[in-house]
């Protein structure tokens, strides 16, 4: 996913709570979630927060290491599930 992809503010607000090393600026699609401090417990909590925040349920096959590698890959998964529910 190109770094030029716009990551919606609502998504950033939810995700930022689980990224202790994220600065105050905009999150970039290419930023690695692990480098921003997302750990395995954070993944579980973040997943629940995203499902609640967007009223979604993520399919098990979407929950893999690639999905949680970067801000952009996680947003892509949220976006795909969201648009699939419409």
What does the alpha-carbon distance between residue 28 and residue 71 come to, in Å, rounded to a whole number? 7
Predicted TM-score (pTM) of this structure: 0.89
Mean pLDDT of 1-12: 79
- Per residue in 73-83, pLDDT (tens digit) is 999 999 999 88
Which pLDDT value is given to residue 86?
Answer: 53
The 10s digit of each residue's pLDDT in 19-75 is 999 988 899 999 999 999 999 999 999 999 999 999 999 998 888 999 999 999 999
For residue 78, how many other CB atoms are within 10 A of its CB? 21
Inter-residue contact 30 to 3 (CB < 8 Å): yes
pLDDT, position 85: 59
User: Are 71 and 28 contacting, i.e. CB atoms less than 8 angstroms apart?
Assistant: yes
Query: H/E element holding 4?
Result: none
């Amino acid at each position: 996913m190109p770094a030029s992809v716009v990551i919606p503010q609502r998504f950033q607000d939810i995700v930022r709570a689980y990224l202790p090393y994220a600065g105050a600026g905009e999150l970039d699609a290419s930023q690695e979630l692990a480098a921003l401090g997302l750990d395995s417990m954070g993944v579980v909590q973040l997943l629940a927060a995203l499902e609640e925040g967007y009223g979604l349920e993520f399919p098990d096959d979407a929950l893999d290491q690639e999905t949680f590698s970067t801000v952009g890959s996680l947003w892509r998964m949220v976006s795909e599930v969201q648009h699939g529910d419409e």
